[in-house]
Structure 1
Amino acid sequence: MTSGTSRERHLPHSARGRVDRPALIGHAAFLALLLYGLAHTYWALGGNGFPFGADDANPEYSAFQHLGRDRLAPWLAGWFLGSAAVAFLLALPGRRRIPTPLLVGASVFSAAAVFCTLADFRLLGNLAYVLMLRFGAINWTVVNQLFAVVSVSLMVASAVVYQRRVSGACTRCGRTAAGAGWTSPEAATRWGRRAAYTAVIVPLLYASTRWAWALGFPLGISDELWEEGKTEHLWVVGAALATMGALGSLLTLGLVQRWGEVFPRWMIGLRGRRVPISLAVVPATLVSIMVTVAGVMYIRLHFQGAFDNQRDDWGATVPEMVWPVWGIALAAAALAYYFRRRGVCGHCARG
């Protein structure tokens, strides 16, 4: 009998014969980054459709607004192909000779670079357009931003799997024989509650400025901008979008409340049933990434001097700079929710 078969006999019955999802994450990250690196190579060689920098439909939002395809595309090609090489090493079975902190750090650095430079607040804005069924408002740059964000996110997930594998933890749940520690349900309940309340308060502070404008109070903006916004009905639209964000933030309470685990009575057809973990965790994670990216963009634009001539309009830019706090808190609350509800691992039988 082979050693692999012998190990499998000690696994829970539910874990046998399953697809190795952690390994699939690594392969998906490598393939996505390789394809995107090749796409940038095509653009570097003169191909049409380069989406970033000076070629962006809105270059004023880009960290590379003064760089055209001829200068930027070769660098991005090398960046994504290099990231693909790291993803390939992470996806291979066994342990690499390269120190684990170096591989994991390279993955995190690559993701941070994409979040801070290539992606911007248009990801969040286009989510609102999708919810309003305005698909025609989505442009080519946003599609590329989304692909880049997904690619590096898969890379980070692959790095987490690799870290678990080489440290002897379960590659699916991350638990070890030493115990759960801060990931235990009890611990996650404590720090997850603080994270959830933070993720509710921050967007409400932002929304309060937009509601004030809609109600006729020019909080934090000049008279000139106030009149311009009234003429173009911007304050009504802004209040509507802020309300959507506020309602979404209130849903964050479901990550620490009973109704976030069991559908409430008023939900006919679902009441009393358990809420699927993914139904709460996946949307919260996606929103956390997008609001963090948007907040980082406003901070970057501030240091680039984009708002130097708008000091009287602090209400239009400063509240967004706090969004990374919202995004990180929301991600932490979603992670705590997952730790509380995941139960016994079907792969390693730890709980």
Structure 2
Amino acid sequence: MTTNQGNTKNEATTLAEASRAGRALRRPAALTAVLAALYALAGVIAGLSGGPFPVGDGDPYSMALLYKAPNALLGWGLTALAGIAALLATLAAVTANRDRSVPGLRVAVTAIAAVMGLTALVLVGDARLLSVLGYIPVIIAKVAYDPQIQQAIPRLLDPAQLNLVVLAVGAAQWAALAVAVNRRARNACAKCGRSERTVDGPFSAQAAARWGRSAVAVAVFVPLVYAVTRICWAFGIPLGVEPTLLDGMQGQGMDTSALGLGGMAVLGSVLTLGLVQRWGEVFPRWIPRAGGKRVPIGLAVVPAAFVAMAIIPASVTMLMMAGLPSEGTIPGFSLTNWAPLGPTFLWPLWGVALGAATLAYWLRRRGACATCHRVG
């Protein structure tokens, strides 16, 4: 009798865990399907309207590697890819509650997630998102009196810029779905991803504390290299540029922009350092009302993850620019003018390092799971 009761209890626990796992997979799958379907619908409407798709204008800074591709080809290609993504995500949502998912679904979802992420962040993403973040202090300082800044403000919300944001959100959503599918396939906890085999693995809190420090060191160093060059320009020091080129930038008021960009890079490095510092977990005492309280994990993870995602396409764009002829105030890469593009060669490393540092911070601080009660 006792044995039967024990078996019944174990079966009930297993069913409850399977139900939680199904719900944890179904939610991101359903959301991904809806977002992908809406994007595909918007693409069809844009295509049938006869107007251009909001996917760049032929400028090397737009659409990165595919900036020379025909607008219609890019637009319809993204629309078709979104339709395929919607169908696959729907399949994942429908089969979420089954004990065994459709054979190959884990591989298929992971593969399509990689394709979507590659397409959104590398092939059709570009430097504009990171550029907007970097120019925030310049915009604030000069918007009241600078006509060029005033004219540029509406472009921050134009369809092409909003399309980049949507693509970034879609890539993040596909990553979330791939994680949920992976957890389901591994019989890991649907909420935290831990299993008996991973508690002491490389993604444990103890391991993340070790490799996270190395990731932070890289993510702090790279933007400082960029910052040094821009701040030197702002003070008239031709570091890595010919003096005549620096004179031209100063004549166009770009020294102020350089100071703003350098300042934002320094700020980014300081904030990244917080991912391994005490003040990154507990607000300093001098901060009104928040002093002494724990820093919400999302307050650090969400912006850091977004910046890491913005760095990846920006790095591809700048690497591509190095091989193009000089355009305007941006010269092609050379030994005498290495600073305009040279520091950006390290940006791929910066993006990966910041992403890893953010992951390590989350793994370190997430604590015990409320569902499986595992720690570490």
TM class by smaller structure: 0.7 to 0.9
**TM-align CA RMSD:** 2.9
**Counterparts of 2:132 and 2:236 in 1: how far apart (Å)?**
27
Deviation, structure 1 residue 150? 0.6
Alignment of 1:260-299 (within 5 A): 260-299=280-319
**Counterparts of 1:244 and 1:25 in 2: how far apart (Å)?**
34
Deviation, structure 1 residue 317? 1.0
Q: Is the 8 A contact 1:195 1:333 kept in 2?
A: yes
Equivalent in 210, 217, 238 of residue 237 of structure 2: 217
**Counterparts of 1:121 and 1:104 in 2: how far apart (Å)?**
26
Query: Are 1:66 and 2:68 an aligned pair?
Result: yes
Equivalent in 122, 125, 132 of residue 119 of structure 1: 125
Point out the structure with max Rg over C-alpha.
Answer: 2
The aligned amino acid for 1:331 is G
Query: Are 1:52 and 2:71 an aligned pair?
Result: no
Q: What is aligned with 1:342?
A: 366
Equivalent in 352, 362, 366 of residue 328 of structure 1: 352
**Counterparts of 2:326 and 2:369 in 1: how far apart (Å)?**
49
Alignment of 1:140-289 (within 5 A): 140-180=159-199, 181-289=201-309
Deviation, structure 1 residue 289? 0.9
**Counterparts of 2:29 and 2:275 in 1: how far apart (Å)?**
29
- Closer, same or farther in 2 for the Cα pair 1:32/1:300, shift >3 Å? farther
The aligned amino acid for 1:196 is V
Deviation, structure 1 residue 49? 5.1
Q: What is aligned with 2:107?
A: 101
Equivalent in 136, 146, 171 of residue 154 of structure 2: 136
Structure 2: any 5+ residue segments left out of the alignment? Answer: 1-7, 144-152
Query: Are 1:38 and 2:44 an aligned pair?
Result: no
**Greater mean alpha carbon deviation, residues 303-312 or residues 272-281:** 303-312
Q: Is the 8 A contact 1:196 1:333 kept in 2?
A: yes
- Cα deviations across residues 171-226 of structure 1 (Å, max 9, x unaligned)? 22110022421122111110011111111111001101101111212122233421
**Counterparts of 2:81 and 2:341 in 1: how far apart (Å)?**
31
**Counterparts of 2:60 and 2:54 in 1: how far apart (Å)?**
10
Q: Sequence identity, in percent?
A: 34
- Closer, same or farther in 2 for the Cα pair 1:5/1:228, shift >3 Å? farther
The aligned amino acid for 1:256 is V
Q: Is the 8 A contact 1:37 1:81 kept in 2?
A: yes
**Counterparts of 2:105 and 2:93 in 1: how far apart (Å)?**
15
Deviation, structure 1 residue 99? 5.2
Deviation, structure 1 residue 82? 1.6
> Alignment length, in residue pairs?
344
Q: Is the 8 A contact 2:333 2:342 kept in 1?
A: no
**Counterparts of 1:241 and 1:260 in 2: how far apart (Å)?**
23
- Cα deviations across residues 138-185 of structure 1 (Å, max 9, x unaligned)? 032110011011112201210110011011011221100224211221
Deviation, structure 1 residue 277? 0.9
- Closer, same or farther in 2 for the Cα pair 1:114/1:9, shift >3 Å? closer
Query: Are 1:83 and 2:85 an aligned pair?
Result: yes
- Closer, same or farther in 2 for the Cα pair 1:96/1:4, shift >3 Å? farther
> What secondary structure, in the 3-state scheme, does the structure 2 residue paired with 1:315 have?
coil
> What secondary structure, in the 3-state scheme, does the structure 1 residue paired with 2:338 have?
helix
**Greater mean alpha carbon deviation, residues 81-90 or residues 127-136:** 127-136
Deviation, structure 1 residue 89? 2.9
Deviation, structure 1 residue 22? 4.8
**Greater mean alpha carbon deviation, residues 78-87 or residues 268-277:** 78-87
Q: What is aligned with 2:13?
A: 7
Q: Is the 8 A contact 1:44 1:77 kept in 2?
A: no
- Closer, same or farther in 2 for the Cα pair 1:177/1:142, shift >3 Å? same
The aligned amino acid for 2:206 is E
- Closer, same or farther in 2 for the Cα pair 1:263/1:25, shift >3 Å? same
**Counterparts of 1:169 and 1:122 in 2: how far apart (Å)?**
38
The aligned amino acid for 1:44 is G
